[in-house]
Amino acid sequence: MNGLRMFIRPDQKGPVENAIFYSQRSSGPMYRWQYEEHVGRWHVARVGTSDLSSHELCTASWHSVPQGLKRQLSEHYVE
């Protein structure tokens, strides 16, 4: 997924499965990803960049992204 960047809030605690991730491709819109256990899928919502400060997020390594989220990201960002 060319140009895809993943972010997390640096103050997040707990297991990575409970983490909230943010994604942005190139200069496109930013999306918030949160796992919803009762449906067994990651919920995605578009967020305005004005809702987030650049100091609130830090880059997440691709290795820290859960497999289920990686699958949904590949469906969401169709090449």
Q: How far does CA 53 lie from the centroid of its chain?
A: 16
pLDDT digits (tens, 9 = 90+) for 34-60: 999 888 899 999 998 777 766 788 999
Q: Residue ranges of the domains in the chain?
A: 4-76
At residue 78, the pLDDT reads 83
For residue 15, name the pLDDT band (cuts at 50, 70, 90): low
pTM, entire model: 0.85
Closest CA to 23 of 78, 79, 63, 76: 76
At residue 17, the pLDDT reads 61
Average model confidence (pLDDT) across the chain: 86
Give Cβ neighbours of residue 19 (< 8 Å, ≥ 6 apart): 8, 12
